[in-house]
């Protein structure tokens, strides 16, 4: 039996090699451009993933007169050409070892060297950050960026102001005890709105929890935001989620969930389904720098690279994972360098520059769809507000640091200067906008607050088609307890 098993395993391994044809070897082209501070082309500052995939046709093999058909859903090519490309990619000018001696290994040929050389933990030079607008809102000479029409530019700015004001007033509502929880996007408005503007309404969004601006851009009303935060009967989540856990099927915005980074591998799965259905859209998922310390981040990047899924990962690197500084999270050069390690094209962008964010996400989306590949975008920004209403960030970071980013690096002010230079905005329009938004916010809060709460039955519905006995018993016990002690339960929840 052991001999037969060993022979069977050897035959199986041989068949697998013949049939699969080294599926890990890819037929690809290179991104030969290197990162530069003032690139002539936006694509030139994307860090290459390594090699570029193209499509192939299904391969048919015969063995013992039986037909074995293998359809490569992940299109692969002959190992010989891919191996030579890999050799070009990883060879250096100072390589003096014999390239004719190589290990034919799955994934491509690996040359030998007599020199014992460890890869450095860093190349000693940080990846540059793509930006278009300087701190005064002026276009940097030589910048490559997507042109914006007046209509789009004004909408971006108006939405940034609306988001900023919504955060301020909803935060104050929580402090007044009118809602239980809130967190703001202060300092990160450009990442929210500019990235949303660069996407299509058909693109599916899997957010973390600091991306309400995407919903705002897509038409989610301020009243709908208020309904969710107050958990009334008009809340699409039926009052079962924490405040700010928005979701909208209409706007292709998957409901926010609290666990960090769980949305990332889910996004890859959805993106792969879009690829299978040949949809002309992609998935965009967001996370913070803290989320990159989760295993789900690494699993998602590898999953996306292997399946060549059309997904754009956007990491808001704002320097702090609640009270944990990035220097205590990782020793690498931020997040952007992790993409190439998994075979993913990547870029670092100034997250406080709305024009740069828009241009980078526009290009990333185009790559994801046209090339059917994942892209990683690291947006450098700063969380000006506290992590949430449960946090006091002055306990772990200097007030001077917060003030600097709030005043000198404010993304809303910077973009306003650019819009005004184009004579698309004025002080009069600014005053009208802020007055209108404030009036709307105060009104929607009053409406949401007075709207009836969802009935008690919704605590137990929408999970099972037919509720199991134990769930029915729990509902029965809860109702009995409420009837026995009505003073201990909210009177505005219909039984």
pLDDT in tens, 126-136: 999 999 999 99
Residue 324 has pLDDT above 80, yes or no: yes
What is the reported pLDDT for 41? 55
In this prediction, residue 411 carries a pLDDT of: 98
Q: What is the mean pLDDT of residues 205-212?
A: 97
Which pLDDT score, from 0 to 100, does residue 63 have?
31
Say which range, 4-18, 63-77, 188-202, 392-406, has the weakest mean pLDDT: 63-77
Q: With 70 as the cut, is the pLDDT of residue 30 above it?
A: no
Mean pLDDT of the chain: 86
Is residue 66 pLDDT above 50, yes or no?
A: no
Q: 24-28, 292-296, 351-355, 489-493 — which is least confidently predicted?
A: 24-28
What is the band of 57 on the pLDDT scale with cuts at 50, 70, 90?
Answer: very low
- Active site amino acids: 172, 258, 387-388
pTM (two decimals): 0.82
- Interval 310-335 mean pLDDT: 95
Q: What is the pLDDT of residue 106?
A: 87
| pLDDT value, residue 494 | 92
SS (H, E, C) the chain: CHHHHHHHHHHHHHHHHHHHCCCCCCCCCCCCCCCCCCCCCHHHHCECCCCCCCCCCCEEEEECCEEEEECCCCCCCCHHHHHHHHHHHHCCCCCCCCCCCEEEECCEEEECCCCCCCCCCCCCCCCCCECCECCCCCECCCCCCCCCCHHHHHHHHHHHHHHHHHHHHHHHHHHCCCCCCCCCCCCCHHHHHHHHHCCCCCCEEECCCCCHHHHHHHCCCHHHHHHHHHCCCCCCCCCCCCCCCCCECCCCECCCCCCCCCHHHHHHHHHHHHHHCCCCCCEEEEEECHHHHCHHHHHHHHHHHHHCCCEEEEEEECCEECCEEHHHCCCCCCCCCHHHHCCCEEEEEECCCHHHHHHHHHHHHHHHHHCCCCEEEEEECCCCCCCCCCCCHHHCCCHHHHHHHHHCCCHHHHHHHHHHHCCCCCHHHHHHHHHHHHHHHHHHHHHHHHCCCCCHHHHCCCCCCCCCHHHHHHHHHHHHHHHHCHHHCCCCCCC
Q: What is the per-residue pLDDT for 268?
A: 98
Mean pLDDT of 258-275: 97
Confidence of residue 12 (pLDDT cuts 50, 70, 90): very low
The confidence band for 212, taking pLDDT boundaries of 50, 70 and 90, is very high
- 451 pLDDT above the threshold of 50: yes
Q: What's the rounded mean pLDDT across residues 350-376?
A: 98
Report, as an integer, the average pLDDT of 315-337: 95
**Percent of the chain's residues with pLDDT above 90:** 75
- Digit-coded pLDDT (tens) for 213-266: 999 999 999 999 999 999 999 999 999 999 999 999 999 999 999 999 999 999
């Amino acid at each position: 039996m052991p001999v037969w098993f060993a022979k069977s395993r050897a035959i199986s391994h041989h068949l697998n090699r013949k049939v699969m044809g080294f599926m890990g070897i890819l037929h690809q082209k290179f991104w030969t451009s290197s990162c530069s501070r003032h690139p002539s082309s936006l694509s030139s500052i994307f860090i290459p993933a390594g090699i570029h995939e193209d499509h192939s046709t299904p391969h048919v093999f015969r063995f013992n007169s039986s037909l074995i058909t293998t359809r490569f859903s992940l299109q692969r090519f002959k190992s010989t050409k891919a191996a030579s490309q890999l050799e070009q990619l990883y060879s250096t000018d100072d390589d003096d070892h014999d390239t004719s001696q190589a290990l034919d290994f799955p994934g491509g040929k690996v040359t030998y060297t007599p020199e014992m050389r460890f890869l450095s933990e860093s190349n000693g030079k940080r990846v540059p950050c793509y930006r278009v607008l300087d701190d005064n809102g002026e276009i940097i000479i030589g910048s490559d960026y997507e042109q914006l029409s007046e209509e789009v530019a004004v909408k971006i700015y108006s939405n940034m102001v609306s988001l900023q004001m919504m955060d301020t007033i909803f935060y104050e509502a929580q402090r007044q005890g009118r809602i239980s929880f809130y967190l703001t996007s202060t300092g990160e408005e450009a990442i929210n709105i500019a990235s949303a503007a660069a996407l299509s309404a058909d693109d599916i969004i899997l957010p973390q929890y600091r991306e309400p601006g995407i919903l705002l851009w897509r038409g989610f009303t301020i009243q709908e935001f208020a309904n969710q935060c107050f958990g009334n009967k008009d809340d699409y989540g039926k009052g079962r989620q924490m405040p700010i856990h928005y979701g909208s099927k209409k706007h292709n915005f998957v409901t926010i969930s609290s666990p960090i980074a769980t949305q990332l591998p889910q996004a890859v799965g959805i993106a792969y389904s879009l690829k299978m259905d040949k949809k002309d859209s992609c998935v965009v998922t967001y996370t913070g720098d803290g989320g990159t310390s989760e295993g789900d981040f690494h699993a998602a990047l590898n999953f996306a690279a292997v399946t060549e899924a059309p997904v754009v990962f956007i990491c808001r690197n704002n320097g702090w994972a609640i009270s944990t500084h990035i220097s205590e999270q990782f020793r690498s050069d931020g997040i952007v360098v992790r993409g190439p390690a998994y075979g993913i094209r990547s870029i670092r962008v100034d997250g406080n520059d709305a024009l740069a964010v828009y241009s980078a996400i526009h290009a990333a989306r185009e790559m994801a769809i046209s090339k059917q590949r994942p892209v990683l975008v690291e947006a450098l920004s700063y969380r000006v507000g506290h992590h949430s209403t449960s946090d006091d960030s002055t306990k772990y970071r200097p007030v001077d640091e917060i003030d600097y980013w709030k005043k000198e690096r404010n993304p809303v002010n910077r973009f306003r200067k650019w819009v005004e230079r184009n004579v698309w905005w004025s002080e009069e329009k600014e005053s009208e906008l802020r007055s209108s938004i404030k009036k709307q916010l105060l009104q929607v809060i009053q409406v949401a607050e007075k709207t009836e709460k969802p009935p008690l039955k919704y605590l137990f519905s929408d999970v099972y088609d037919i509720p199991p006995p134990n769930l029915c018993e729990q509902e029965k016990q809860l109702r009995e307890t409420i009837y026995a002690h009505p003073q201990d339960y909210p009177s505005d929840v219909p039984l």
